[in-house]
Structure 1
Amino acid sequence: MKSEHEFFAINQVPWTEAGPGITQRLLSNDPEDGTLTRLARWAPGTQTTDEVIRHEYFEEVYLLEGSITDLTLGQTFTVGYYAARRPGMPHGPYRTDDGCTMLEIHHHG
């Protein structure tokens, strides 16, 4: 079951490595099924693999800072953009030239 928290200052949660060029503040999660809410921060120049991304969970993403480019669509998204993706929905690959921070919510089940 996803962890439960009353209001708290998220700056109490450290940034940890989440992949090449990506750090995260893990706000709530279920280690058994991977459900999570996090802030993901991409360093300038970070890019996913060259392949389209698909995953087994429902994902919501809200861009808080910076910008990110979908290389398949050739479109750049900036602060205030939101995505909701069903399991298996193709998206990306992505690159950020100036870096970005996103709120991500992954739902399983």
Structure 2
Amino acid sequence: MSFLQQEFCDRPAHPPIGGAPVSLAEATAASPTGQPQQWCTIGPGIWELFLNGIATSDNKAVLQWYEPNTTSVDPHAIITHTYIKEVYFVQGGLADVTIGRGWGLGSYAYRLPGMKHGPYKASPEG
């Protein structure tokens, strides 16, 4: 798999709160690389900016942004993955509803394949 060199010094601006949804297909359609180059919606009030890897696979690097007070797709659904997931918070925070614990600015989390987590609720800052 080839990776693209992509760098930025400032955090990319997130979409406006309540912005019109943008599908992965829409974000990819206008891209000369065949990879999305704008924020996509992955659930109501949840956005993802593709950074590198393969956008349609689990092998990718992304930024996610939850609009303020957004709860992940199903507020009762436990989440698991078949891949390792690493999370670093650069703004606001999330609370894991199931375990009753939250993380904020500067926090780091590591999830092994199959580890149960979520659902999440975003902080008032997003």
Both structures adopt the same fold (TM-score exceeding 0.5): yes
| Residue 103 of structure 2 corresponds to residue 77 of structure 1 | yes
| Residue 49 of structure 2 corresponds to residue 25 of structure 1 | yes
Q: In the superposition, relative to structure 1, how do residues 99 and 53 fare at CA in structure 2: closer, same or farther (>3 Å)?
A: farther
CA deviations on 1:5-46 (whole Å, 9 max, x unpaired) are: 2243374x4222222111111011225643110110100121
Report the aligned-residue RMSD. 2.0
Q: In the superposition, relative to structure 1, how do residues 90 and 33 fare at CA in structure 2: closer, same or farther (>3 Å)?
A: same
Q: In the superposition, relative to structure 1, how do residues 29 and 71 fare at CA in structure 2: closer, same or farther (>3 Å)?
A: same
- Greater Cα radius of gyration, structure 1 or 2: 2
Normalising by the residue count of structure 2, what TM-score does the alignment of the two structures yield?
Answer: 0.68
| Residue 96 of structure 2 corresponds to residue 97 of structure 1 | no
What is the CA–CA distance in structure 1 between the aligned matches of 2:120 and 2:54, rounded to whole Å?
Answer: 26
Offset, 1:55: 1.3
What is the CA–CA distance in structure 1 between the aligned matches of 2:53 and 2:117, rounded to whole Å?
Answer: 23
Q: Does the 8 A contact of 2:6 with 2:51 survive in 1?
A: no
Gaps (5+ residues) in structure 2? 13-36
The residue type paired with residue 40 of structure 1 is: Q
Normalising by the residue count of structure 1, what TM-score does the alignment of the two structures yield?
Answer: 0.77
Query: Match for 1:52 among 74, 78, 90?
Result: 78
What is the CA–CA distance in structure 2 between the aligned matches of 1:97 and 1:79, rounded to whole Å?
Answer: 11
What is the CA–CA distance in structure 2 between the aligned matches of 1:70 and 1:55, rounded to whole Å?
Answer: 16
User: Which aligned runs of 4 or more in structure 1 are off by greater than 3 angstroms?
Assistant: 7-11
Residue identity over aligned pairs, in percent, reads 33
Q: How many residues align?
A: 98
Tell me: higher relative CO, structure 1 or 2? Use CA pairs within 8 A at least 6 residues apart: 1
